[in-house]
Amino acid sequence: MNIFDLHEAVLRDYRDFVRSFLLIADARARAFVDEAFDRETTFWPDPLVQVSPAYASGPTVDELLAEGLLVAETARIFRNKDGAPFLLYRHQEMAIRKVQRGESIVVTSGTGSGKTLCYFLPIFDNLLRQATRAPGTPALVVYPMNALVNSQHASLERLKAKYEERTGRRFPLTFAKYTGETPDDQREQMRTQPPQIVLTNYVMAELMLVRPEDESLLPRGGGALRFLVFDELHTYRGRQGADVAMLIRRLKERCASTNLVHVGTSATMAAHPQASPEERRQAVADFATRFFGHPFTADNIVEETLEPFTPGGPPSAEELKRRLAQGQGLTEDLEAFRRDPLVRWVEYEMGLEPLVEGGLRRRMPSSLKQTAARLAALVDAPQQICEQQLRQVFARGGDLVRKGGGRALAFKLHQFLGQGRTVYATLQGADRRAFSLEGQIQASQGRLFVPIKFCRHCGQDYYHVLRTADSFFPHPVGIASEDQEGKPGFLMLAPQEDWSEDLLPEEWRYPNGRLRPTWKERVPTPLWVFPGGSFSVTAVPGAQKMWWQGGGFYLCLSCGEFYTDREREFTKLATLSSEARSSATTVLATSLLRHAARTKAAQQKLLTFTDNRQDASLQAGHFNDFVQVGLLQAALYARCARGARCAPTK
C-alpha cells in the first residue's frame, strides 16, 4: 500500500460522510447527485503532486570555523548527536555570511530548509564573540504564534542539552521565551537578568514596550538591541501588517543599536509566477523595506539553491519511449533508480524547472492526470499506462532512502476539499426538469435554474425563491433574505396525489377545526409557474402547478413535519454543503489516522493548522467529543452484539 491508496481510502470516507447528510426523495435528482459524487472532481479536484527538490549542500560548521568565519565555541554548539558538525545548505551559508558582515536579510526558502539556522547560528556567534554587552536583551526573535515560539524554544533546549552532555560544561548563552503562558516567577527572573535571546510574539513585544516592569529587557537608549528577527513574514498583511510595522519602528526608536541587523524569513513570498529571480528578490526587498523601515535591495534576499537528485538532466523523448517500450519495473538499487529516464523526467517535470538565466526553481504542483497526459503525448502511449508508471515511480521513490537520509524521491500530495455545491433545477415537472451544480441562473430556452433544498426528514425538494408581483427569481445562495428585493419563500412541485388543506397538522387548528391565528398566514397556496419564472394564480396552459410558502419554511407538504419561528432553516432543510467544518475536519483526521495504521503508508501522526487559537480550541474540543461519543457507541454496540441486555437508566 502507498500514499495514493491512503489518499483514495480517505476520500471514500469523506464522500460517504458528505453523502450521509442528504436524503433525496426524487429519483432523478438523487441519480444526478449520486453521479456527481461518483465523479468526485465535482466536489474536490484531483490531488496535486509536487516533487520536493533537494537543497544544494554547502560547507560544515567546522569548515567555516577553519575559514575564520565562526569561533570555536559556535562550532561546538552546532553539532549532531554523534558529535559530527552540522552540514549546511548553500542558502544557509549565504545567509550566515551576510549576517556576519552586518547585513540585514530576508530568507525565502521552502519548508524544512533550516531557515532558523540562518539567524540563530550567526546570532550565537556574534554573542559569543562579545563578552561584555549593554544592559538588556541583544536579540529579539518574534513569531506570529505561540506554537512556533514553543517549538523553537524546545529546539534550543535540545541544542543546549546535547552541548552540555557532550562537553560537560554549562551552555555559554542564555535564552528564554516570553509569551502569555510564561509563569510570573520566570518573568521576574528575566527582568532581573535579561536573557541574551528572547523568543516572543508580536503582541508580547508590544506589551514589553509599554509595561514599566519590562523596561530592563528593552531599556531606553543604550542601543542594547542588535538583532531583530521576524519569522513568517507573509503572515503580516493588511492592517495587522501595518500595526506590526509601526511596532518595529517604536522598538528601534527605543533600544536599537546603530548597526541593528534585521532578519525576516518566509516560505511563501514571491512575485508573479513567471517573475525572474531578480524580480522575485526585488519584490521581497520592497516589502521588507516597508515592513522593517530599513532599506533592502535584491542582494539582501537569500533564496533557496536547488540541486537535482538525478544525474544527466531531463531525458529526451527517445529515451522515454525506449524506457516505456521495454516495460521494465523499477529497480530497488538507489543508483540505478537515480539514472532511470522516467525518474529523471518526473523530477524535472514535477519538481525542478531550469531557468533561462541559469539555476533551478520549484515547479508548480500538477495533478497526476495532467502529468500523465503530457507524458502520453510525448511518448505516444496510453494515458492510463503512463499514470500507472508515474504512481510506481512515486511509490518506489518513497521506499528508497538516500545515503544521507531522507527519501529518494520525496514528494507532496496536495488535496483541496470544499463544501459541496448547491443543486439547481429548472421550474418544470419532475419528469423533465434539468439539474445543475454550476451555479448559473439562466438555462436554455428562457428557463431559470433555481436552487433547491431537501427536507431533512423525507427528502422532498423545495425551490428557494424570491417572489415579486408577477415573477419568481432564484434566491441568491448564502445571502440573507433581508438584503434582497422580493419576498423570500419556497415552492414545491404539486405531487401526483395533490396536497390539500385537509392535510394541515392538527396542531394548527382549534378543536372546532378553525385555523389558529399563528398558522393562518402560513398555509401554503397553489400557484401555476412558468419555466421562466412568471406565474399565475389560476391554472394556465404551459405552467406547472406548485405550492407556495412565503416568509419561511414551516411545513413539509410531503411528510407533514412542521416548524416554528424559533427553529433555524438549517435544521429543516439540507443542501450539498450541510456538513459543518469542524465535523468534516474531524472525520478527515480520524480517517487519515485509521487508514494510516491499516495501510502502513504513513505514520500515525497528524498536524493541523487553523487560522487562530479560538479555531484550534474549538476543533480540539470537537475532536475530543467525537472520540468520546465514538467510544461510548462502540462499547454499547459491542455489548449488545454479545446478546447482553442493557439495563435501563433512570
- What value does the mean pLDDT take over residues 495-520? 92
Q: Which residues contact 275 (CB under 8 A, 6 or more apart)?
A: 283
Q: Is the distance from CB of 285 to CB of 296 less than 8 angstroms?
A: yes
**Beta-strand relationship, 256-266 and 225-230:** parallel
> Comparing C-alpha atoms, which of 428, 468, 471, 476 is closest to residue 451?
476
- What value does the mean pLDDT take over residues 483-507? 91
Supply the mean pLDDT for the chain.
90
Burial class (CB in 10 A: 0-12, 13-18, 19+), 92: buried
Identify the residue whose cell numbers are 546603530.
258
Amino acid at 331: T
Question: Cell digits for 168?
Answer: 560537560
Is residue 358 left, alpha or beta, with left meaning phi > 0 and alpha meaning psi from -120 to 50?
left
pLDDT of residue 406: 81
CA 97 to chain centre: 34
> Comparing C-alpha atoms, which of 422, 579, 305, 468 is closest to residue 36?
422
Res 645 pLDDT > 70: no
Res 319 pLDDT > 80: yes
> Comparing C-alpha atoms, which of 411, 410, 463 is closest to residue 433?
463
Alpha helices in 293-361 (DSSP H): 317-326, 334-339, 341-350
Query: What is the CB-side half-sphere exposure of residue 461 using CA atoms within 13 A?
Result: 27
Q: How far apart are CA 5 and CA 48, in angstroms?
A: 15
Q: Which residues contact 20 (CB under 8 A, 6 or more apart)?
A: none
- SS3 (DSSP) at 494: coil
Q: How far apart are CA 26 and CA 276, in angstroms?
A: 55
pLDDT (tens digit, 9 = 90+) per residue, 266-298?
A: 987 666 667 778 888 999 999 999 999 999 999
Q: How far apart are CA 513 and CA 528, in angstroms?
A: 28
Instruction: Tally Cβ neighbours within 10 Å of residue 413.
Output: 15
- SS3 (DSSP) at 555: strand
Amino acid at 500: S
pLDDT of residue 646: 53
Q: Residues for the chain: how many in total?
A: 650
Amino acid at 333: D
- What value does the mean pLDDT take over residues 222-235? 92
Q: How far apart are CA 328 and CA 378, in angstroms?
A: 19
How far lies 188's CA from each of 182, 215, 226, in Å? 10, 12, 23
pLDDT (tens digit, 9 = 90+) per residue, 2-26?
A: 888 899 999 989 888 888 878 999 9
Amino acid at 166: R
Of 154-163, 306-315, 397-406, 530-539, the least confident: 397-406
Query: Which DSSP state fits 561?
Result: -
Q: How far apart are CA 377 and CA 637, in angstroms?
A: 54
Q: How far apart are CA 562 and CA 507, in angstroms?
A: 10
How far lies 509's CA from each of 474, 519, 534, 620, in Å? 33, 8, 33, 47
Res 477 pLDDT > 70: yes
pLDDT of residue 419: 65
pLDDT of residue 482: 64
Computed on alpha carbons and rounded to an integer, the radius of gyration of the chain in Å comes to: 32
Phi, psi for 536 (deg, rounded to 5): -135, 150
410 or 356: which carries more pLDDT confidence? 410
Q: Which residues pair with 547 in a beta bridge?
A: 492, 526
Q: How far apart are CA 118 and CA 107, in angstroms?
A: 8
> Exposure string (b/e) for 157-184, b if CB count within 10 Å is 16 or more?
eebbebbeeeeeeebbbebbbbbeeeee
Of 155-169, 214-228, 402-416, the least confident: 402-416
pLDDT of residue 565: 79
pLDDT (tens digit, 9 = 90+) per residue, 178-219?
A: 999 999 999 999 999 999 999 999 999 999 999 999 999 999
Q: Is the distance from CB of 547 to CB of 492 less than 8 angstroms?
A: yes
Question: How is 392-452 classified by DSSP, letter by letter?
Answer: HHHHHHHH-B-TTSSBTT-EEEE----PPPPPEEESS-TTT--EESS--SB-GGG-BEEEE
pLDDT of residue 25: 95
- SS3 (DSSP) at 606: coil
Res 303 pLDDT > 90: yes
Amino acid at 566: R
Of 32-41, 81-90, 439-448, 467-476, the least confident: 32-41
How far lies 148's CA from each of 110, 151, 155, in Å? 16, 5, 11
Q: Which residues contact 465 (CB under 8 A, 6 or more apart)?
A: 450, 472, 473, 474, 475, 488, 489, 490, 491
Query: Which DSSP state fits 534?
Result: B
